[in-house]
Amino acid sequence: MAVTDASQVDVLIIGAGPAGLMLATWLARTGIIFRIVDKKASRINSGQADGLQSRTFEVSRLSDRKSVHATYSFKIFDSLGIGQDIWREANHMLEIRFWNPDKRNLLYRSDSIVDTPPGLSRFQQATLHQTRIEDHLLGYIGRHSPIQVERGVMPESLSIDTENVDEDGAYPVSVTTRHLPNPDREPVSIAGVAKSAVPNGLFRSNLAADTSDTLLQDAKADAKSHTETIHAKYVVGCDGAHSWVRRQIGSVMEGEQTDYIWGVLDIIPITDFRSMMIIPRENKFVRLYIQVTEVDEDRKASKIDRSDISPETLLRAASNILAPYTLSYKHCHWWTAYQIGQRVGSKYSSHERVFLAGDAVHTHSPKAGQGMNISMHDTYNLGWKLASVIQGRADRSLLKTYSTERRQIAQELIEFDQKFSRLFSGRPGTDIMGEEGIDLKTFKQVFEKGNLFSSGLSVDYAPSLIVAKPQPFNGETPLTNGDSKVDHGSVVGKHNLATGIPIGMRIPSHKVLNQADARPWHLQELLPSNGAWRILVFAGDIIDPAQSSRYEALGKALNSPDSFLHRYRPNGESVQPCFEVLTIHSSPRKEVELLSLPDIFHPFSEDLGWDYNKVFVDDLSYHEGHGQAYDNYGIDPRTGCVVVVRPDQYVSWVGELEDVGEMDRFFGSFMRVQA
Amino acid sequence: MAVTDASQVDVLIIGAGPAGLMLATWLARTGIIFRIVDKKASRINSGQADGLQSRTFEVSRLSDRKSVHATYSFKIFDSLGIGQDIWREANHMLEIRFWNPDKRNLLYRSDSIVDTPPGLSRFQQATLHQTRIEDHLLGYIGRHSPIQVERGVMPESLSIDTENVDEDGAYPVSVTTRHLPNPDREPVSIAGVAKSAVPNGLFRSNLAADTSDTLLQDAKADAKSHTETIHAKYVVGCDGAHSWVRRQIGSVMEGEQTDYIWGVLDIIPITDFRSMMIIPRENKFVRLYIQVTEVDEDRKASKIDRSDISPETLLRAASNILAPYTLSYKHCHWWTAYQIGQRVGSKYSSHERVFLAGDAVHTHSPKAGQGMNISMHDTYNLGWKLASVIQGRADRSLLKTYSTERRQIAQELIEFDQKFSRLFSGRPGTDIMGEEGIDLKTFKQVFEKGNLFSSGLSVDYAPSLIVAKPQPFNGETPLTNGDSKVDHGSVVGKHNLATGIPIGMRIPSHKVLNQADARPWHLQELLPSNGAWRILVFAGDIIDPAQSSRYEALGKALNSPDSFLHRYRPNGESVQPCFEVLTIHSSPRKEVELLSLPDIFHPFSEDLGWDYNKVFVDDLSYHEGHGQAYDNYGIDPRTGCVVVVRPDQYVSWVGELEDVGEMDRFFGSFMRVQA
């Protein structure tokens, strides 16, 4: 038996799926020292080359579990600079068509609705499978850090030194990890796997038993296996539905688990069912979701012999639903089956030192299409907060907002998912909207709610340290700052100054022009995920002398050595900015001279000259129309406003050009004065 | 001395700059066996890491000669699938500002115009330097072929076996190449080089002497150098201004060479000259073009001591022009100087076996910004023609159209360039538009003509084998088919059926929707460069029974074993299509069922089911407006039309839905019946 090595690291991520990799993007970008381990040794589950032409279908040889189809995820990808690539590769979803049995019980096309309501976002829903999403995230991580995923490594013990959890420099979490000599030897625990040579996800489905303990036993018995003890400041469990980290911190999944079993089949359909597009995917593939369990009259699912589940049984079930149309396929690249349940972990964190994210802390039905998306959004929320605390820029109290914000979203999602799943599961497949079924209006409403989820527009974080809005009038006691010294409840943004920029929600994106070269940019493109807080100065009509003086006075106040901009900004921050001040004015572009504006709004560098990329204008572009940003943001050009935007693009605060003192108090409640 | 190897190849490309690489994209994509050699051993001229942060400025370490800034080039890149990547990386050019001396001889901003007129193209002008363009082209070639550029190899003799030039299977061109043992040891022929450590292009400028002979002499004297004789079907010289291939086939550069010398400086400017944006480039760099030669009162340039040219002298000259503003820099990543001249080779080809392209056959001033663009357009025109002939799909007579089409464009360009250069060169730098100078209106007109060039919209090929339009009424004898058997003069398209699609010009792009899934596509995106001729069926309003019968009759005629579609289509062409039939109808999308249309318009495959990507519709999209394609193309929905589009997206012919016989004759005049 090998010796146990020991080492230190700022963050240890357990699990390299979408949630783990999204967390790694922040840490890589902000220069945090981290490690990321995954018990699987390789990402490709099926190594067999099939007969297909490789160039066209090479994705079909890759493992596939989930697919991204959320516009909000695209906005995050865009802020990482990989949105356009994923968008181009993905299948775009534009229309949903409903098919129902007619009087003679024959299917007919009963209606169609738009998939993403127009105007919600410049990205619409699109599908691309998980492996490719992971590829893009890995590519980003590789461009910003030399750190690589350590595969074939699993944790075997975790302990927290609770006496040290509040000490800044401490490494209070110890995890012993074990290198697996045969990491890809997954026990085949249900019979279906044996029935199909096609790559499938049964072994990691919730129908399969957790194999972690078996794997660990095997490894311990192997002389080649060695262990390492990692002392970490923070540990994040992104280790899926059977989360090992969850068990260590005593978090329990709470909620329902049903008996309904559904199957999933990714095929290129050959059918006379016209324009068959159940869930269209990239490269001509189509995903079918098929209920496998029989349902009796009390709407209770009967038991099914799980060993019967195979692509053939799934195809038979689908064919029954589509009759009299026929369905077959030559290319199936993946399939699985799962049991429906909606549950949320009882806690998201232990001492804000060990965190859970993704499937490790919430599960819901894949049909709502939110699994991978919500998982990535979890760690997109956590990553910048961890980085700020580790860098000594923010107080540890900031970390409490992870659990409150993400637990709220998980709860909202599973409530939606319960409704959504009942639409499909509680009734025979052929009468979803039949005479005794749900009416089309209800059906459409549920779909529209789903669209809001995937667009991210339904996320509205509650008041907190970093969301400066009034407490709701529900009699609850206001949130306090936990371990923080300052009571933040008194800083409240002035929402009426920008009615189109709700505090606690993601900032909407409209087009503005660069003052210097007239190039149009979506505001979103100006907010890359680099860890910076943005101070958006909507300066209004600065041709007006009164407004111009207010703008100049703001510049002077920001420039003062006492302002938050200087107090909390570390020296030598050029690599990883802390604050970025962007101006968006509303005067005609050609009437404003960039270099006549106060220097702080377009800083000068001895090396690089003036910064031409900090001042923008709400004006007509040459080729791409007028963004009407002030109108859309509900800002009066005669007054303007200042908006504080979090590094994850959520809105913290809105105030007047004179409210620098309020901003000082806001940042003072969780940021640390730098030497 | 090493033995001479011997080998055969379909196409040998000499020179791996933009023209050579663009040719290689076609050959790689169509599976033609080719080799591409370049005398330089590496693409990176300056290997020294400078003090800059590598991620932001890594381009500054690369050699840079020209930059792309033509919208037409972007359309070509788009058809290769690399347009979006280049577009994203490039600096976008939106506005041109004019600065003039006032009465006191101080500079003031006199006017501004839009750079690319709105509506011309969905891409506007943008700048990106040559090395990155080459990277993207090399990436494309690498994805489609294992063939790599052979560097450090130069030709030393070329002979054509004129007895065999018309024989299909022959390899009538023999080239002996020599591997250079020290290919990067460029003789420093003018003193300026020694004066600056900054990477520069002087050694390949037209101010420098041709060094090929010296290189060859050195190599011959070296025992390690060996030679190879390559027997090729075709040879293309893309070997630049000092073209060796040009000399071998006795082509002579004809035109003017002036004494005006200009310098080029790529710097990050530090200046109080407001919004200095002479030629903005990527990564904060700006390119300055500066006249170096003094000009006397007779507007004749005086002699200058060439050894005086250095970044410092160029900066001094620029500072004089900008006074009273100041200019300096810390980062200069490239500079050069050149002599202005406009010349075209006396012949473009020898026996249609050896061709010249790019700088090898035309030169003009870099300021017009067309050098790299026109060079790539040359071989973009030649590549698909060579591939068709080598594949036995088309007659060799097709190759004659290369010289006629591209010589016409080169002539038009140098006429424009002469005017454009005179705007700048014939007068002192400070009074371009002064009281005695050219008036602003003339200046703007010349700029607008420049825009037409770069948008590709001024290219209008004359009638030929593959441009079926009437001869101009200038008394010239009609073109005949050269070696071809069929006289093609009698097939003439019916331009009135599609007044917005001029025959001989590039087909304009408007948005249409996919019939099956409603996704909007720019027509351009449906025409990737894969060698296929497109038959665009504008079927009109096919809900109308009369129009529907016409569409069905067209389907039947195309389906006949006698139609061109079957006669000229090789068996087993799936990898490299010969024809593609695309329908664009104008009925409401939801009233048309894809599978009720004739099969030939959405072919069935046993393996992959129905093809959902061949039928499109001119209808309102969900998120991106209405393309109004029929309106923009000037097509009446009650009649429709058929448009034949060349593999390079130029329009060959327009006719009625009944004109299948005309299409048969059109293709019959140069295509070969397949077994």
User: Quick one: A284 and A424 in the same domain?
Assistant: yes
C-alpha closest to that of B354 among B177, B171, B145? B171
The verdict on whether A664 is a catalytic residue reads no
User: Quick one: B500 and B423 in the same domain?
Assistant: no
Question: Which chain B residues touch A519 with a CB distance below 8 Å?
Answer: 92, 94
Show the tokens assigned to A350.
């232990």
The verdict on whether B43 is a catalytic residue reads no
Q: Is B367 domain-assigned? A: yes
On whether the CB atoms of residues B526 and B616 are closer than 8 A, the answer is: yes
User: Quick one: B83 and B214 in the same domain?
Assistant: yes
Q: Strands across the sheet with A67-68, in order?
A: A67-68, A126-129, A91-92
B67 pLDDT band, cuts 50/70/90, is low
User: Quick one: A137 and A58 in the same domain?
Assistant: yes
* CB nearest A519 (choices: B88, B92, B331): B92
Structural domain count, chain A: 2
pLDDT of A24: 94
User: Quick one: A83 and A139 in the same domain?
Assistant: yes
pLDDT of A659: 97
CA–CA dist B479, B378 (Å, integer): 21
CA angle A258, A259, A263 (to 5 degrees): 105
**Looking at residues B129-143, what average pLDDT do you find?**
88
Residues 6+ apart with CB under 8 A from A311: A196, A198, A200, A265, A332, A335
CA–CA dist A612, B235 (Å, integer): 48
Name the active-site residue from B18, B101, B366, B463.
B366
SS3 string of B499-512?
CCCCCCCECCCCEE
pLDDT of A453: 67
CA–CA dist B653, B644 (Å, integer): 5
Handedness of CA A335, A337, A341, A343 (dihedral sign): negative
Question: Which chain A residues touch B269 with a CB distance below 8 Å?
Answer: 609
CB contact (8 A) between residue A269 and residue B590? no
pLDDT tens for residues A387-445? 999 989 999 999 999 999 999 999 888 888 777 766 665 443 344 444 445 566 676 67
Residue of A573, A622, A624 for testing the chain B interface, max B β-carbons within 10 Å: A622
pLDDT of A89: 82
* CB nearest B609 (choices: A114, A270, A280): A270
CB contact (8 A) between residue B607 and residue A330? yes
Question: Which chain B residues touch A590 with a CB distance below 8 Å?
Answer: 112
* CB nearest B622 (choices: A114, A608, A623): A114
Alpha-helical (H) ranges within B17-129 are: 18-29, 54-57, 71-79, 83-89
pLDDT of A431: 42
pLDDT of A59: 35
pLDDT of B296: 46
Name the active-site residue from A234, A260, A289, A568.
A289
In one-letter notation, the amino acid at residue A412 is: E
**Looking at residues B217-227, what average pLDDT do you find?**
84
pLDDT of A369: 64
Question: Which chain A residues touch B271 with a CB distance below 8 Å?
Answer: 609
* CB nearest B124 (choices: A94, A116, A623): A623
> How would you class A670 by CB atoms within 10 Å of its CB: exposed for 0-12, middle for 13-18, buried for 19 or more?
buried
* CB nearest B517 (choices: A268, A280, A621): A280
| Domain-terminating residue out of B412, B428, B444 | B428
For residue B328, the surrounding DSSP H or E stretch is strand B327-345
CB contact (8 A) between residue B622 and residue A594? no
The verdict on whether B612 is a catalytic residue reads no
Nearest CA distance, B96 vs chain A (angstrom) = 9
**Looking at residues B288-317, what average pLDDT do you find?**
66
* Residue tagged 């003890």 (tokens): A229
CB contact (8 A) between residue A595 and residue B330? no
CA–CA dist A17, A359 (Å, integer): 10
pLDDT higher than 80, residue B282 = no
At A102, give phi and psi (nearest 5°): -90, -170
Q: Is A603 domain-assigned? A: yes
Alpha-helical (H) ranges within A522-574 are: 545-559, 564-567
For residue A372, the surrounding DSSP H or E stretch is helix A371-390
Residues 6+ apart with CB under 8 A from B37: B12, B13, B14, B15, B16, B149, B150, B151, B153, B154, B155, B177
**Looking at residues B419-424, what average pLDDT do you find?**
69
Q: Look at A336-350, A520-534, B552-566 and tell me which has the smallest mean pLDDT.
A: A336-350
DSSP A506: B
C-alpha closest to that of B267 among B281, B250, B251, B249? B281
Show the tokens assigned to A252.
């329990």
In one-letter notation, the amino acid at residue A548 is: S
On whether the CB atoms of residues A640 and A469 are closer than 8 A, the answer is: no
Q: What is the CATH number of the domain that holds A611?
A: 3.40.30.20
Q: Is B292 domain-assigned? A: no
pLDDT higher than 70, residue B301 = no
User: Quick one: A51 and A137 in the same domain?
Assistant: yes
User: Quick one: B639 and B510 in the same domain?
Assistant: yes
Q: Is A425 domain-assigned? A: yes
* CB nearest B284 (choices: A116, A271, A608): A608
**Looking at residues A143-166, what average pLDDT do you find?**
93
User: Quick one: B393 and B515 in the same domain?
Assistant: no
pLDDT higher than 80, residue B586 = yes
Q: Is A463 domain-assigned? A: no
The more confident residue out of B640 and B88 is: B640
Other Cβ atoms within 10 Å of A675 Cβ, number: 6
**Looking at residues B382-407, what average pLDDT do you find?**
94
Which residues does A contribute to its contact with B (CB < 8 Å)?
84, 88, 92, 94-95, 112, 114-116, 118, 124, 268-272, 274-275, 277, 280, 284, 330-331, 516-519, 590, 593-595, 606-609, 612, 621-623
Other Cβ atoms within 10 Å of B457 Cβ, number: 18
On whether the CB atoms of residues B651 and B504 are closer than 8 A, the answer is: yes
pLDDT of A188: 45
Q: At what angle do helices B545-559 and B660-668 cross, to 10 degrees?
A: 30
The verdict on whether B366 is a catalytic residue reads yes
Q: Is B315 domain-assigned? A: no
| Domain-terminating residue out of A455, A478, A509 | A455
For B174, B431, B478, B495, B656, the CA distances from B475, given in Å and listed in that order, are: 41, 45, 9, 22, 29
Q: Look at B159-173, B189-203, B241-255, B537-551 and tell me which has the smallest mean pLDDT.
A: B189-203
* Residue tagged 């070269």 (tokens): A517
**Looking at residues B256-275, what average pLDDT do you find?**
70
C-alpha closest to that of A35 among A129, A155, A159, A208? A155
Question: Which chain A residues touch B124 with a CB distance below 8 Å?
Answer: 622-623
Question: Which chain B residues touch A595 with a CB distance below 8 Å?
Answer: 272, 274-275
User: Quick one: B378 and B527 in the same domain?
Assistant: no
Nearest CA distance, B285 vs chain A (angstrom) = 9
Question: Which chain B residues touch A284 with a CB distance below 8 Å?
Answer: 608-609, 612
Residue of B110, B592, B623 for testing the chain A interface, max A β-carbons within 10 Å: B623
Residue of A56, A92, A94 for testing the chain B interface, max B β-carbons within 10 Å: A94
Question: Which chain B residues touch A270 with a CB distance below 8 Å?
Answer: 606, 608-609
Alpha-helical (H) ranges within B262-306 are: none
Judged by phi (left if over 0) then psi (alpha if -120 to 50, else beta), residue B31 lies in left
CB contact (8 A) between residue B612 and residue A275? yes
The more confident residue out of A638 and B278 is: A638
Q: What is the CATH number of the domain that holds A339?
A: 3.50.50.60
Instruction: Provide the residue range defining the domain that includes B77.
Output: 5-94+121-260+337-428
At A549, give phi and psi (nearest 5°): -65, -40
Q: Is A487 domain-assigned? A: no
CB contact (8 A) between residue A595 and residue B516? no
Q: Is A33 domain-assigned? A: yes
Kindly provide the residue ranges of all beta strands, DSSP E only, lying in A28-106, ordered along the sequence.
34-38, 67-68, 91-92, 95-101
User: Quick one: A275 and A324 in the same domain?
Assistant: yes
**Looking at residues B218-223, what average pLDDT do you find?**
83
Name the active-site residue from B43, B50, B631, B665.
B50
Torsion angle defined by CA atoms of residues B625, B626, B627 and B629, in that order, rounded to the nearest 10 degrees? 180
CA-nearest residue to B89 within chain A is A81
Question: Which chain B residues touch A98 with a CB distance below 8 Å?
Answer: none
C-alpha closest to that of A200 among A282, A130, A264? A264
User: Quick one: A274 and A369 in the same domain?
Assistant: yes
CA-nearest residue to A89 within chain B is B81
C-alpha closest to that of B201 among B309, B360, B329? B309
User: Quick one: A441 and A540 in the same domain?
Assistant: no
| Domain-terminating residue out of B428, B451, B471 | B428
Size (chain B), residues:
675
pLDDT of A285: 75
Which residues does B contribute to its contact with A (CB < 8 Å)?
84, 88, 92, 94-95, 112, 114-116, 118, 124, 268-272, 274-275, 277, 280, 284, 330-331, 516-519, 590, 593-595, 606-609, 612, 621-623
CA–CA dist B122, B119 (Å, integer): 7
What is chain B's alpha carbon radius of gyration, rounded to the nearest angstrom?
26
CB contact (8 A) between residue B590 and residue A112? yes
CB contact (8 A) between residue B519 and residue A92? yes
Nearest CA distance, B556 vs chain A (angstrom) = 22
Arithmetic mean of pLDDT over chain B:
80
